[in-house]
Amino acid sequence: MDVILQIILLLICAKLFGELVERMGYPALIGEIAAGILLGPSLLGWVTTNETIEVFADIGIIALLFVSGAEMNLKSFLERRNVAVTTAVAGVIVPFAGGILLGYLLNFSQAETLFLAIALSITSIGVSVRILVDYKQLNTVLGTAIVSAAVLDDIIGIFLLGILSAVAMQGTTLAGGSLSAGILIGIAFLVVFVLIAPRVLRWLFDLARKTETHEMVYSVAIILALASAWLSHTAGLHYSIGAFVAGLILGDQIRRDRPLFDSLMDFGFGFFVTLFFASVGLLFSFTWETFLSPYIIPIIVVAIGGKIIGGYIGSFHFLTKAEALLVGLGMTPRGEIALVVAKVALVGGVIGSALFSAVTVMVIATIIFTPLLMKHGFAWAKIAEKESP
pTM across the whole model: 0.69
CATH number for region 52-277+287-387: 1.20.1530.20
Query: What amino acid occupies position 205?
Result: F
pLDDT tens series, the chain, 389 aa: 788 999 999 999 999 998 898 888 777 777 888 898 899 887 888 988 888 888 898 888 888 888 877 877 667 666 777 787 888 889 889 999 999 999 999 888 888 888 889 888 888 777 777 778 777 887 777 787 888 787 777 667 666 765 665 555 554 444 445 545 555 666 677 777 778 888 888 888 888 888 777 788 888 889 999 998 888 888 766 677 788 888 888 888 888 888 888 888 888 888 888 888 888 788 776 667 667 778 889 999 999 999 999 989 988 888 888 888 888 888 888 876 677 677 667 766 777 777 887 888 888 888 888 888 888 777 776 655 555 55
Boundaries of every domain in the chain: 52-277+287-387
- Would you mind telling me the total number of residues written for the chain in this entry? 389
DSSP labels, 175-210: -HHHHHHHHHHHHHHHHHHHHHHHHHHHHHHHHHHT
CA distance 322 to 326: 6
